[in-house]
Chains A and B, each alone.
Chain A
Amino acid sequence: NAGVTQTPKFQVLKTGQSMTLQCAQDMNHNSMYWYRQDPGMGLRLIYYSASEGTTDKGEVPNGYNVSRLNKREFSLRLESAAPSQTSVYFCASSGTGVEGETQYFGPGTRLLVL
């Protein structure tokens, strides 16, 4: 089992460019999440998907869009990147029921916007 995988690992963008961060999980989890991590701020939820076909905004959704392509894959898109979006992005997934509260994280994507 690979768990949660993310691509790319690193990316440098110029202001205004667009890109899509990919995330996939092989644990048959229903729920998937995108977080950003910034120094001194912990992790903040951008978007989440409670099940295939549904997505909802988290704490910091502005400037991002998401797609739950199927049960395995959840992508995050930056339509017009800004320097404020320089961050480390983590994807996570979880199952359902009481034990579903545990989230499993990918290794992260480090994004620099110039």
Chain B
Amino acid sequence: AQSVTQLDSQVPVFEEAPVELRCNYSSSVSVYLFWYVQYPNQGLQLLLKYLSGSTLVKGINGFEAEFNKSQTSFHLRKPSVHISDTAEYFCAVSHTGGGNKLTFGTGTQLKVEL
């Protein structure tokens, strides 16, 4: 079984500052990794995903994440945030051959302030 840990429940940041949202996972087999974003009162939208290949993955809205197998991490980064990035961010993992079932972290609320 796999699990996902998002250590930061809330991350406040000023507009135009960089941000990193942390995600660590545990799994005994190879994994696929995802970041989803949820804006208030909406469903989840895929930001980016790592399936294989390059460990640096670029997604929508200027976000990127790096897969680090040795540290079992998949941290999300953005060099300069905007007010519109205020949302909840979920890291998720599935394992290869696992039937597409996702295990989610508990989420990180990103609050961008002026």
Interface residues of A (CB under 8 A from B): 4, 31, 33, 40-45, 48, 50, 58, 90, 92, 94, 98-108
Q: Out of A41, A48, A90, which one reaches B101, CB within 8 Å?
A: A48
Tell me which residues across on chain B come within 8 A of A4, comparing CB atoms.
43
Interface size (B, Cβ < 8 Å)?
Answer: 24
Q: Out of A50, A102, A108, which one reaches B49, CB within 8 Å?
A: A102
B43 touches A40 (CB 8 A): no
Q: Out of A90, A101, A106, which one reaches B100, CB within 8 Å?
A: A101
B104 touches A103 (CB 8 A): no
Given contacts A40-B9, A40-B106, contact A58 B101 (CB under 8 A): yes
Sorted nearest first, the 4 A-B pairs with minimum C-beta distance are A105-B43, A42-B104, A105-B44, A42-B106
Which residue among A33, A101, A105, A107 has the maximum number of chain B CB atoms within 10 Å of its CB?
A: A101
